[in-house]
Chain A
Amino acid sequence: MKQGGWDEHKSIVLTRYVVALAIVVSAGMTVCGPWLVQWLMATHTLAHTGPAVEGALLVLGYLCAALAFWMLFNLYRFLRRLEQGQVFVPQTVQALRRISWCCTWAAVLCLPAGIWIYLPFVFLAVAAGFMALLVRVLKNAFEQAVRMKDELDYTI
C-alpha cells in the first residue's frame, strides 16, 4: 500500500538496512568484547568478581554474539525473500524456527549469568524467552499458511 511515496518495498529495504546495521554493531561489540567486559566490571556492582567471572562474561558474550549473528543472518535472508515475493515458502518457516531457537538459547545462556553474576541479565533472558515464544507462534502461523498455499496451488 502506497502512502505518500512510501511503499511496501521501501519499508522492507529499510528493515533490511536496519538488520545490516545491527550486524555491523554486533561485529563491533564482538571485537570490543574484552573492553566491554572490563567496563561492565568496573562500573557495575556484580555479585562475584575476579578473573574467572571476567572469563565467564567474555565467553557468554561471544556465545550470545554467535547466536546474534546467526539470527540476524537468517533475518536478513528472510527479508531478501520477502523482497522477491517469496513469502509463504518452507524456507521462511525454517528461518523463523532458527530465529526462535537463537532467542531460546540466548535466554538459556543469560539466565544463569543473571542469577549468579549480574541480575539485569535475568531481564535480558526473560525478554529473549518472550521473543522466542512470539517468533515461534509466528512460525506456526507461517507453517499453516505454507500448507494452505500448497493446497491452493494444487487445486485445479
Chain B
Amino acid sequence: MPIVVNLDVMMARRHKGAGELAEEIGITPANLSILKNNKAKAVRFSTLEALCRALDCQPADLLEYIPEEH
C-alpha cells in the first residue's frame, strides 16, 4: 500500500500512549494497532478527525504517499 500512516511518529511527538489515544478517540486498542502498523485498508473521516483533534495535527501529518517501486 503506497499510503503510509505515520501515527507512531505523531504519537511519539505528542508523548501519547496507544491506550490513552485509543480511549480518547473512542476506538479499540486493537483497531489503533491495525492503523499504527499500516494494516488498515481505509480510514473513516470521523476517525481521522478524532486523531487530528487528539494529536493536534493535520491529516497530512498522519498520512504520507510513497509511490511503489515497479
Contacts and interface: CB of A to CB of B under 8 A. Distances in A.
- Are both chains from one complex? yes
Secondary structure at chain A's binding surface: helix, strand, loop or mixed?
A: mixed
Contacts of B34: 154, 156
Contacts of A155: 40-44
Interface in B30-65: 31-32, 34-35, 39-44, 47
A32 B28 CA distance: 59
B27 interface: yes
Contacts of A151: 41-42
Contacts of B27: 156
A150 B4 CA distance: 19
Interface string A99-129: 0000000000000000000000000000000
A17 B38 CA distance: 45
Interface string A114-156: 0000000000000000000000000000000000001100111
Nearest to A150: B41
A154 B41 CA distance: 5
Nearest to A151: B41
Contacts of B44: 155-156
Nearest to B51: A156
Nearest to B35: A156
A156 B32 CA distance: 8
B9 to A, nearest CB: 17
Contacts of B43: 155-156
Interface of B: 27, 31-32, 34-35, 39-44, 47
19 contacts: A151-B41, A154-B34, A154-B39, A154-B40, A154-B42, A155-B41, A155-B42, A155-B43, A155-B44, A156-B27, A156-B31, A156-B32, A156-B34, A156-B35, A156-B40, A156-B42, A156-B43, A156-B44, A156-B47
